[in-house]
Amino acid sequence: MRALGALIAVLLLAGCTATPDAKPKRTRADEPLPTTTAITLPPRPREVKLDRADPCTLLTSAQRKELGMDRPPLPGRNPNMGDAKVCDFRDSTRALSVRIGLVLVQGVEVWLDETAQADVTQTQIAGFPAVVVRTAAQTAFCNVDVDVAAGQFLDVQFGNAGSGHPPSLEQMCSRAQEVAQAAVRTLISAK
């Protein structure tokens, strides 16, 4: 349980689909997020293991151009996510960033646990169950996590990288879904 809490804390600090209109919206960043009702994810259409994937190849050059990511991909590792392979992409014109992470130590259900302390909305990315994750203290980024295999998930974070006119959280969540769609399509085509 301690590992689950640590993973959640790290994902929240490291780095959300459009929310349904029925959900209340926060007017101030310091207001608590609305309580999320229990979510049960549907089965995935197939299992796509991430063990041998390279996050820097999950966005093709054409996809990066379409998304406005004009800087070369920067590979790395995140020791706080089980030494997950990550790749950072940047839009230097608008000062926005994308991070794609391959989480191999925990399934996407980590966000469905009541201890997650996040507003989680169910969505679907390229036919796979996914969640959009918003956290109360963070309005500079949004995460979309895709359930691609048992005990593994694709984490996509879209965020502000210093823009003086950053997009709204809703816009960042929408863009995170766009990036996740592109990354999953590339992942599937490589299998």
Q: Is the dihedral of CA 173, 178, 181, 183 positive or negative?
A: negative
Write down the pLDDT at residue 39. 82
Mean pLDDT of 11-37: 44
Mean pLDDT of 74-98: 94
Tokens 């679907």 found at: 124
C-beta atoms surrounding 105 within 10 Å: 13
pLDDT digits (tens, 9 = 90+) for 130-149: 999 988 777 889 999 999 99
Answer whether residue 17 shows pLDDT above 80: no
Write down the pLDDT at residue 114. 76
Residues 6+ apart with CB under 8 A from 131: 39, 41, 108, 111, 112, 120, 121, 122, 123, 144, 145, 147
Write down the pLDDT at residue 23. 39
Rounded distance, CA 63 to CA 30, Å? 35
Consecutive H or E run containing 175? helix 169-190
Lowest mean pLDDT among 55-64, 79-88, 106-115: 106-115
Residue 85: band (very low, low, confident or very high) from pLDDT cuts 50, 70, 90: very high
Instruction: Say what the pTM is.
Output: 0.80
Lowest mean pLDDT among 46-50, 116-120, 124-128, 155-159: 116-120
Rounded distance, CA 140 to CA 117, Å? 17
